[in-house]
């Protein structure tokens, strides 16, 4: 009977192929004392120079295939090669007479352990960056070349304890059927790169992965986080059927690219994409994005030793605006702090970071940081239809303060003769229940609302969707959530403002009729969801959706709401049944 390994769903899709097990080079060495520090420094410098040349080569390859944002990973690696604190620690080891290998590993492991103790998952996984750099330098010291994934010559599933960013960068997308790693999470570089390349991936499988031999057939389910070892003929056939139908479905849906989102009875519903970097633009446009409904700018800031300057930010925003060629681009200002800490800010730890100094609160507390981003946004505004959005607004005063800073920077740039677009829509996220309750008052201040459904649900129902013990309480269709969305839409309509949704609800086929029925006119989601949801919008009767939404607001439970949606729109079963379950 086939073995099934469970891990973290990191990149969607199914893939079948023989395992290509990546064996890292043997980096074992003997620690020796009484060495000549000068001679060891010469050896180390040579290894550092060779490593720098390799990293620069990989960076340029990634830039050519994936874009500047993914290539920026390797800028961080280059910085690690010259990190002053790490350099000081290595130098101390050399002065104590250690050989270069021992000095390098001893110093690096101290910093790796420090990263791994951090609470923030994104920053904790940055330990992989330092480990990658350390192993590269160590391999050069030992004269043992690293694993060469570029040597892959036939279709296969890549299996590894972990894949360093530089490993993933070597992958030939046309040959890789899937990626499976023993460690990592959704924010690890393996996962990020797999999604950018469109390769199904499961990470965090654990030590059980070490039992998988090279050549074993693997079925990778990147949606469910499962890997089947040596699946039987029926499972392979089901997977191949799914992949064939998915390809056919993709071909069929591609005909919808270019069609405006409009319901069967003529209600306009814009379908936009969520992105994290300019590298995501290609996939968004391939899937017919009518705009960018959420550009998460925090990825410019995370996983690095220095804050991005005005020029770097301006370049990223300009690239996205020009790439969208006049289509609307909603750029969310910095949404970090608390659980997504920036080490460069030296923020004190908080007992409850989700209710702490984060997002707009952090930006207002650090106007020096905020003004740099606002200036970059304003300068980029002349290159497209920019819309600025402030996250985690709880009070009208917060919005006014943020808007005032934006206006001040506009006036300053204008006085300096720097061109800025005449009109830039300025809106806010509705993530905190207070914002929905006071939607009418906020609507007098803003140009638009974008409902961040993930946080709105979490804050309203006091439930963490990642906590298995309370995940059942995280209910997108709970009548309380629908009531807050209805209140937001009513307040916006009274003042002539528009409302979008940029959380996972936007891509949920069950939620879509309710959102349209409540008055949402923009849905922003991950690019692969755009075409299926566009098809659903084109077939939707908005009048019927309004009747359903009004009825849903009278129900007591999420279960009643779901039953009513399915009864009103029986076609949802076929719309959402495109994914075969090869393990069923």
* Edge-first strand listing for the sheet containing 3-6: 3-6, 226-229, 217-221, 14-21, 156-160, 176-181, 201-203, 8-11
Return phi, psi of residue 462, to 5°. Answer: 50, 50
Residue range 385-444, pLDDT digits in tens? 999 999 999 999 999 999 999 999 999 999 999 999 999 999 999 999 999 999 999 999
- Beta strands in 432-477, from DSSP E residues, in sequence order: 448-451
pLDDT at 121: 55
pLDDT at 579: 41
pLDDT at 300: 83
Instruction: Report which DSSP code applies to 359.
Output: T
Catalytic residue of the set 77, 140, 189, 383: 189
Cβ(264)–Cβ(545) below 8 Å:
no
Token pair, residue 362, equals 């952090």
* Cα distance between residue 304 and residue 178, in whole Å: 28
* Cα distance between residue 399 and residue 404, in whole Å: 8
Q: Which CATH class is domain 37-142?
A: mainly alpha
pLDDT at 257: 92
Nearest to 398 by CA among 360, 454, 366, 436: 360
pLDDT at 271: 98
Which CATH code fits 255-575? Answer: 3.20.20.60
Strands 217-221 and 226-229: antiparallel
Residue range 333-357, pLDDT digits in tens? 999 865 556 667 777 777 787 888 8
Coil, strand or helix at 82: coil
* Cα distance between residue 214 and residue 223, in whole Å: 24
Token pair, residue 157, equals 């599933």
Which CATH code fits 3-21+148-250? Answer: 3.50.30.10
Catalytic residue of the set 77, 363, 489, 502: 502
* Cα distance between residue 145 and residue 147, in whole Å: 7
3-state secondary structure 364-397: HHCHHHHHHHHHHHHHHHHHCEEEEEECCCCCHH
pLDDT at 184: 80
Token pair, residue 115, equals 């990263």
Burial class for 567, CB neighbours closer than 10 Å (0-12, 13-18, 19+): exposed
The residues, any chain, with a CB within 8 Å of residue 481's CB and separated by 6 or more, are 453, 456, 457, 460, 461, 475
Q: pLDDT averaged over consecutive 10-residue blocks of the chain (584 residues)?
A: 82 90 82 88 93 84 66 79 87 93 92 76 69 90 76 89 73 87 76 76 90 93 92 90 84 90 97 88 91 91 79 94 97 80 72 86 95 98 98 98 98 98 98 98 98 94 77 92 98 98 90 98 91 95 98 97 94 52 35
pLDDT at 577: 42
Q: How many CA atoms lie within 13 A of 314 on its CB side?
A: 14
502 a catalytic residue: yes
Q: Which residues pair with 181 in a beta bridge?
A: 160
Provide the residue ranges of all domains of the chain, joining segments of one domain with +: 3-21+148-250, 37-142, 255-575
140 a catalytic residue: no
């Amino acid at each position: 009977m086939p073995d099934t390994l469970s891990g973290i769903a990191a990149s969607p899709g199914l893939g079948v192929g023989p395992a290509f097990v990546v064996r890292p080079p043997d980096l074992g060495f003997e620690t020796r004392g009484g060495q000549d520090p000068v001679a060891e420094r010469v050896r180390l410098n040579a290894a550092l120079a060779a490593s720098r040349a390799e990293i620069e080569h990989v960076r340029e390859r990634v830039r050519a295939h994936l874009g500047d944002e993914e290539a920026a990973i390797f800028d961080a690696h280059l910085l690690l090669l010259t990190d002053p604190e790490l350099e000081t620690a290595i130098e101390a080891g050399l002065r104590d007479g250690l050989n270069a290998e021992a000095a390098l590993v001893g110093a690096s492991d101290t910093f790796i352990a420090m990263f791994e103790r951090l609470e923030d998952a994104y920053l904790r996984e940055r330990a992989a960056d330092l480990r990658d750099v350390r192993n590269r330098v160590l391999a050069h010291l030992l004269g043992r070349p690293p694993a060469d994934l570029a040597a892959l010559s036939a279709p296969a599933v890549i299996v590894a304890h972990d894949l360093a960013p530089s490993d993933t960068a070597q992958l030939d997308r046309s040959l890789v059927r899937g990626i499976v790693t023993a460690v990592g999470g959704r924010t690890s570089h393996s996962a990020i790169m797999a999604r950018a390349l469109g390769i199904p991936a499961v990470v965090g499988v654990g030590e059980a992965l070490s039992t998988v031999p090279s050549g074993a057939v693997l079925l990778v389910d990147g949606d469910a986080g499962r890997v089947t070892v040596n699946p039987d003929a029926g499972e392979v056939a089901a997977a191949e059927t799914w992949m064939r139908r998915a390809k056919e479905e993709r071909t069929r849906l591609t005909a919808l690219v270019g069609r405006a989102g409009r319901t069967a009875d003529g209600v306009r519903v814009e379908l936009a994409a969520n992105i994290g970097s300019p590298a995501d633009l290609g996939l968004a446009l391939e899937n017919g994005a009518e705009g960018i409904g959420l550009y998460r700018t925090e990825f410019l800031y995370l996983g690095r030793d220095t804050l991005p300057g005005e020029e770097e930010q301006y370049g990223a925003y300009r690239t996205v605006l020009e790439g969208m060629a006049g289509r609307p681009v909603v750029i969310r200002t910095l949404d970090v702090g608390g659980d997504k800490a920036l080490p460069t800010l030296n923020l004190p730890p908080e007992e409850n970071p989700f209710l702490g100094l984060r997002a707009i609160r952090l930006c207002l507390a650090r106007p020096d940081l905020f003004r740099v981003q606002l200036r970059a946004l304003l300068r980029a505004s002349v290159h497209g239809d920019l819309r600025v959005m402030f996250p985690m607004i709880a009070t009208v005063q917060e919005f006014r303060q943020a808007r005032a800073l934006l206006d001040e920077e506009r006036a300053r740039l204008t006085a300096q003769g720097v061109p800025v677009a005449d009109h830039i829509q300025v809106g806010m996220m509705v993530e905190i229940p207070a914002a929905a309750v006071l939607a009418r008052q906020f609507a007098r201040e803003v140009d638009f609302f974008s409902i961040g459904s993930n946080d709105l649900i979490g804050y309203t129902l006091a439930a963490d969707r990642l906590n298995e013990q309370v995940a059942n309480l995280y209910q997108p269709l709970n009548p309380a959530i629908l009531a807050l969305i209805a209140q937001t839409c009513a307040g916006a309509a009274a003042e002539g403002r528009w409302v979008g949704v940029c959380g996972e609800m936007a891509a949920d086929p069950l939620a879509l009729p309710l959102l349209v029925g409540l008055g949402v006119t923009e849905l922003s989601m991950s690019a692969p969801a755009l075409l299926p949801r566009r098809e659903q919008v084109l077939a939707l009767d908005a009048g019927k959706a309004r009747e359903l939404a009004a009825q849903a607001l009278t129900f007591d439970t999420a279960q009643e709401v779901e039953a009513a949606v399915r009864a009103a729109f029986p076609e949802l079963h076929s719309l959402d049944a495109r994914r075969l379950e090869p393990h069923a």
